[in-house]
Amino acid sequence: MRPVFRVIVDPDVCESNGVCEGLAPAIFALGDDDAEAVTVLLDPVPDDLRPVAEQAARACPKAAIKISHA
């Protein structure tokens, strides 16, 4: 079995800046409404996407993205 992990976006903190979507479009998507939090497209996320997910979490201007073990 392949290792997997979860990506969690805190909707109360997320400002939908889109940095995460730009870095990891396979994992994150902006909603049609700028007031919506970013949507996580994969749950759980395959381990081979972990480096880009971690990069997106570090780059989030509001630190709204967390990574956890599935």
Question: With 80 as the cut, is the pLDDT of residue 70 above it?
Answer: no
For 34, the domain range is: 4-69
Residue 37 has a pLDDT of 85
Q: Burial level of 53, CB count in 10 A (0-12/13-18/19+)?
A: buried
The DSSP-derived string for 11-58 is TTT-----HHHHH-TTTEE--SSTTSPPEE--SSEEGGGHHHHHHHHH
Q: Write down the pTM of the prediction.
A: 0.88
Number of domains in the chain: 1
CATH number of the structural domain spanning residue 11: 3.30.70.20
The structure tokens 């630190």 sit at 63
At 16-68, the pLDDT tens digits run 999 999 999 999 999 877 678 899 999 999 999 999 999 999 999 999 999 99
**pLDDT class of 15 with cuts at 50, 70, 90:** very high
